[in-house]
Amino acid sequence: MFRGEHHYSLDDKGRIVLPPKFRAALGPRVVVTRGLDECVAVYTPAEWTKNEKKLRSLAVSRRDFVRFVLSSAEDIDLDRQGRLTMPSHLREYAKIERDAVVVGVATRLEIWSLANWQRYIGRVQAEAPAIAGELKDLSL
């Protein structure tokens, strides 16, 4: 289970450190792809296999979405320092130039540009009271 927010910077080779507390659960290889909110999604190979199976089972009318996710997916080996070399097409998609945020989201990690993350959090924070009012059984 991944959770938490961690701030890092990409180095000149496009590598980002993944939080040490996530590395054991991730293993030596991950799958990265486009996330849904201009971020990069990072999956363990086992979790990715589940998602890919679900994507392949979608109706042909959903092929644009399937193509959106699968065409950008890549297997990436972590180096000995726990760094992930982010493919340039994913850095461009997520607008990650230097400062980034690695977020644990249960079964995956998301890597955001700091600017996109701050905008996203600001929007969600403004909506939080209304959303919380709909969540009767959540003890927050």
For 74, the 3-state DSSP assignment is strand
pLDDT at 138: 60
Summarize pLDDT for 95-121 with one digit per residue, the tens: 999 999 999 999 999 999 999 999 999
Summarize pLDDT for 23-62 with one digit per residue, the tens: 989 999 999 999 999 999 999 999 999 999 998 888 888 8
Q: How far apart, in Å, do the first and last CA atoms of the chain sit?
A: 19
Distance between CA atoms of residues 47 and 60, nearest Å: 23
pLDDT at 131: 77
Distance between CA atoms of residues 32 and 97, nearest Å: 17
The predicted model scores a pTM of 0.89
For 116, the 3-state DSSP assignment is helix
Summarize pLDDT for 53-93 with one digit per residue, the tens: 998 888 888 888 888 888 999 999 999 999 999 999 999 99
Task: Tell me the domains of the chain and their CATH numbers.
Answer: 2-134 (3.40.1550.20)
